[in-house]
Structure 1
């Protein structure tokens, strides 16, 4: 394939990012809602567990205190006797974090082995029947929770009585350690649950949005010309939309057809009278007043103008719903016709056409585009013409673009004359027959399809090269 002419490139800013898809919007919204919900659930469960653990601690310390009160005796002289058993082995282990202290009448003071060397000066004496659960409080032993219970012990035999306050304390570390284990376990399980819910939500979204993806896929098939309508079965909520889209497609095609038929009728109505007038004037004598007054020239200009404007107006341009028109067969037919017309020049036309190359638009626009470019090449070529057609790469949801090039081995076009040649009614050489509107029609068709026409010199044949680029849509 001939190399394309180098063109100047400019750095453009990156295009703005498009709006998020419905699936992405739903996934993000669901993710935030799920994160907030699971966070609230975790916080609620953590606080509930902390309250439960605190209540359990209070009950546990209360049971220890009652056990020590029960095991504390009173002598016949009214003196308190220390307990001789322990409700928990941790009370026997120094520094275990579980302490028991009791204070009573007659300077009675007792402490569990775990409380040896510990300062419990913050302990308050309670009246009989008074209870107190406090915590956490800061002490030199760390933060503590403690339960205090005030009682009056009576000796029923000797009728002696003594007041006693028992305090059982536990460090906060043990409670917080249990809470930390629970929180870690809660985070792990809530995370697993969150991942499972996200996966489930993703699957539900894919299933729920399948009809919309089907509509988009069917629309792509219609735009690429593989189908005429949206013909799948859709849910009830989408049926009204798809039916109206089908009506819109039919109306657009019908309007284009009616428009082109009207232009064809207009062309026939105008060109026939002009052809009769022109024929009569050309067959008139040279000294006929009408010929001498320039009427024949004006009729010729009117004929050329009508041909150009009708050809320009009949150009359909880029269509949303267009059928793919194959190029190879039409190119061969055009070249065969031109080879007969220019048989005296013995021009050889070579092809390099992709089998996958198609034109998305009206067949008449394709024939007008290729026909004018090939006819121009045959006019100016010495012996060789090259037609190259390549399909441009595209994404799965776009119609492929097209690159078409026509080259010849003629004299070529000077760079300073390219713009002038593309103007309507201008011919590169007045000695060459023609109206000078073919290339301007090509330019109008290319612009109608939002493409680009590039004119330069052929690197392979040495003459002119006309390159048409139609971008993917």
Structure 2
């Protein structure tokens, strides 16, 4: 069984809005139709009462003291056969006392004995259609003071009312259908206009994919600002990562040239003794192993993601310090940790471990037993690691961080750690700076990361 095609956002919104609009207009049409039909029936019943009152006003007393209706009534429909408006007068036993000319031969519903002022409305079959009748109880006092009870019945054919309701219904649904079609067209245009920024983002991504653009450009609604900002961050990160991969491969190839040349020269020499040969080969192999490890670390640093969690810094610093205490037990490292409990790093915890691990290990290795770690937040994150060693000469401070510097990227030690830390910081849009520690007298390494 095939999978149903996925609807676009525009199609989903249009479908949902169309269903809601159709349901709303449908219920509106039904409600208006019912209201009009009820109002028409109430007006119809009111006309029946008016006809009853008009007949009562026209009634006269006959010689016997009973009720008598005039030969010609005010409403001409009573006087015309098959006019659709009928009237009858019956006594308490149901016998006809009077019928309008229009109602001859017709039975106007069920007539029963009714109290004066009592009324009854009913529908009944009449000829080929339906009629609505009103029966009204009347008390008539004759000239002797006796009270005579009659039932005055008036009925009217419902066909005109039904035709009026049908015409209104046709007109109503015609107008509602036209309004629905117009609203759907307007709604489609509004949705297309509202979703245009998303289409522009998709088009911009297509241009980036084709290489004709390198960033999302344009003025987008504020709802999309976070999306476009994150996409631009991801794009910049991917571009920087690709460049660092190329740089790392170039550095690796460049760094291995000299050790390979030395090995080649040693292997071709016939005048050296066996022991110096083994020592030279071992040194060059160790050197190449360090170079490869370093370049792999740099390549790993280029793969960091920019959308990660928030990591508390102080527990990480304390955990690294505990590990380094075991490694440099003979030095008896003394730690001064000045990191607030709420100071946080926005990124991968492994990156933070590698950053602080490199800086703190170098401070332990090249210091004289005292290391100070500080962290503070303001416009961004600032971490500094100080030691009380001999420090780094000012003329070499930039060199140990510069990519491709032979003394740094090919040798083990402080230069490798700082270079890796600099690469990780760069992946997060930050930087590493080296200076002199005024208080401890050794080197201080500053790590600056922007606020995310």
Distance 2:109 2:27 in 1: 41
Cα distance in structure 1, aligned partners of 2:77 and 2:206: 77
2:305 alignment partner in structure 1: none
How far apart are 1:73 and its partner, in Å? 1.0
Q: Distance in 2 between matches of 1:36 and 1:205?
A: 19
Counterpart in the other structure of 2:38: 51
Deviations 1:184-216 (A, max 9, x none): 111011111112221221222122112222211
User: What is the number of residues matched between the two proteins?
Assistant: 284
Inter-CA distance 244–114: structure 2 relative to 1 (3 Å threshold)? same
Equivalent runs, 1:255-334 vs 2, <5 Å: 255-271=241-257, 273-274=259-260, 277=263
Contact 1:80/1:108 (8 A) holds in 2 = no
Unmatched 5+ residue regions in structure 2? 271-291, 300-452
Partners of 2:268 and 2:99 in 1: how far apart? 137
Partner residue in 2 for 1:99? 86
> Is the aligned partner of 1:25 residue 2:9?
no
- 1:129 and 2:122 aligned: no
Q: Flag the 1:282–1:18 CA change in 2: closer, same or farther, 3 A.
A: farther
Residue 105 of structure 1 and its aligned partner are, at CA, apart by 7.3
2: CA distance between counterparts of 1:170 and 1:271?
Answer: 113
Deviation at 1:92, TM superposition (A): 3.4
CA distance in 1, matches of 2:92, 2:154: 19
Determine which of 224, 249, 256 is the counterpart of 1:238.
Answer: 224
1:147-195 deviations in whole A, cap 9, x for unaligned? 1112223456x75754332111123333222111111111011111112
- 2:178 maps to 192
Q: Determine whether 1:225 maps to 2:192.
A: no
Structure 1 CA distance, aligned partners of 2:33 and 2:40?
10
Higher helix proportion: 2
The alpha carbon displacement at 1:262 in A equals 0.7
Distance (whole Å) between structure 2 residues aligned to residue 234 and residue 154 of structure 1: 88
| C-alpha contact (below 8 Å) 1:75/1:155 kept by paired residues | no
> Counterparts in 2 of 1:408-427, with a 5 A limit?
none
Contact in 1 for aligned 2:88/2:96 (Cα 8 Å): no
Instruction: Please state if 1:212 is matched with 2:198.
Output: yes
Taking only aligned residues, the RMSD between alpha carbons, in angstroms, comes to 3.8
Residue 166 of structure 2 is matched in structure 1 by 180
CA contact (8 A) 1:72 1:82 kept: yes
Q: Distance in 1 between matches of 2:236 and 2:262?
A: 39
Answer whether contact 1:132 1:149 (CA < 8 A) is retained: yes
Instruction: Work out the CA distance in 2 between the residues paired with 1:87 and 1:253.
Output: 97
Which secondary structure state, in structure 2, belongs to the residue aligned with residue 122 of structure 1? coil
Instruction: Look up the SS of the partner of 1:169 in the other structure.
Output: strand
- Once residues 5 and 43 of structure 2 are traced to their aligned partners in structure 1, the CA distance between those partners, rounded to angstroms, is 57
Moved over 6 A (4+): 279-284
Given that 2:129 and 2:157 are in contact with CA atoms closer than 8 Å, whether structure 1 keeps it comes out as yes
Per the normalisation by structure 2, the TM-score is: 0.55
Give the TM-score of the pair, scaled to structure 1. 0.53
| Pair 269,253 (structure 1): closer, same or farther in 2 beyond 3 Å | same
Secondary structure at the aligned position of 2:204 is classed as: helix
Corresponding residue number in structure 1 for 2:29: 42
